[in-house]
Homo-oligomer: A and B are copies of this chain.
Amino acid sequence: MRRWELAIALDPGRELPLFLQLASAIADDIRSGRLKPGEPLPGSRELAAHLGLNRNTVVAGYDELVAEGLVNAKRGGGTFVAVPMPLPPQPPAAATQMPTYPLLPPLPLPATTGAPAPGTLILSNGAPDARLFPARELARAFRRAIERRGRVLITDADACGHLRLRTELAAMLARTRGLAVTPENLMVTRSIEQGIDLVARTLVLPGDTVAVEAFGYPPAWSVLRLAGAHLVPIPVDSDGMDVDALEALLEKHTLRAVFLTPHHQFPTTTVMSQARRARLAELALTRGFAIIEDDYDHEFHYEGKPILPIAAGAGRANTVYVGSLANLLAPGVSSGFIVAPPPVFVRLQSVRAASDARGDAAMECAVAELFEDGELLRHVHRMLQVYARRRDALADALTRYLGDAVTFHLPEGGMGLWARADEGINVARWSRAAEQQGVRFVDARRFDLRQQSQPFLRLCFSYHDEAELNEAVRRMAHALPHGRQIH
């Protein structure tokens, strides 16, 4: 112990083993510079005597430091503080990196709005209320999945998702949605967006024409276009996509696919009528195009009997079905899924294998456990009650504070309400004024394929509770242009 004095009291009572306490103390001295690169450590026998430790404890501590790369054991004997790798030359500032090849433009997506001011109430967000998410149950299930199935679970994985979750999802989708699905033609996805993207690349070739709802979901348009699709808009009304307009389009165009959200149309929330569903299915089969059915929030239906997906009906052979439990659990949890007829599934599987070869098997098993022990079903029923109450509270507040400034139908399901602003109200300007009042909502222009100014608003009721929704609409009323304010 000549040049260097170990500056720590080792404590046999601590939970950390003595050899790790020792390694940690030496590591601190190396990092602080008290021990210099290349400097020898005391011999293990010498240090053991000095500290009153068993020599094996010191040897184990030194081994740990070798494993951490902090010291080297020389072959001839002796342990030395490692000499760090020379630092690479300082990279130039990132800003100067301008490629010499032509850049492609970013995809057209709604501009991301900045972070809201603290206290802002958010009606623009259709995400579930994080406060209701069964986070503890999921974290517990995740830990159990790792503990029981352990390492194999994390390394072993299937591009289609863990069989345990596929089995649960297939059973649930067959039982509650009437789908022709087994674990063999169901794929678990990271997110519904990944699902739409994989399906687009499974079905679409560059130059193909794909029909979409004129009001719709911009990320879907982006990935369809990225796959090479030319998009044509079909109007939507209170019965969903206008299938007569689609039929007229078929006179002029050969369609590769139709992408739609028939259950709770996004963003207008309308439910597609049975007659239109049947006619769409017939057209798809006879004219030879695919239906991509995005059923993103199937569970959240508050009125009347459940409506079965198009994929459960006569057009099922031509329908690829995309969904997710993200709105039920949480957007970060791997719980999207695709159901496709077996002949289509072959290519789908290859696209997934190439682009993201395996899922998160541990998390998939954790979600499967929520199914198996009934937690998921209980959660569905609870959330249905919660969101139905919030929908009603939002509708009440709109009537109370905004009167005839907006008109709307109570949505049968989903997490948002679609309202029309009275003529003379500039919705974009109202939205900007509302942000100043501490409430965020977006005008409908961003959901319009043609990006035209629109007299509509989509207001989400999932993210806040009843009192917050009431306050949000009160703030909206304060932001109304003067002369239009009712209170």
Contact = CB atoms under 8 A, between A and B. Distances in A.
Contact of A226 (B203, B354, B360, B385): B354
Interface in A86-141: 86-89, 91-107, 109, 112, 127-128, 130-131, 133, 135-136, 138-139
A380 to B, nearest CB: 8
B347 A194 contact: no
Interface stretch (A150-158, A237-245, A390-398): A150-158
A344 interface: yes
A357 interface: yes
Contact of A356 (B154, B180, B191, B377): B191
Contact of A197 (B288, B312, B354): B354
A106 B346 contact: yes
A227 to B, nearest CB: 9
Give this chain's copy count: 2
Given A332-B359, A356-B197, A151 B179 contact: no
A420 interface: no
B139 A97 contact: no
A316 B481 CA distance: 52
A219 B353 contact: yes
Contact of A190 (B177, B190, B349, B377): B190
Nearest to A311: B91
Contacts of A205: 104
Nearest to A97: B341
Interface residues of A, number: 121
Contacts of A93: 180
Contacts of A175: 87
A99 B344 contact: yes
A316 B91 contact: yes
B139 A143 contact: yes
Contact of A362 (B154, B182, B332, B350): B332
B355 A104 contact: no
B91 A312 contact: yes
B356 A190 contact: yes
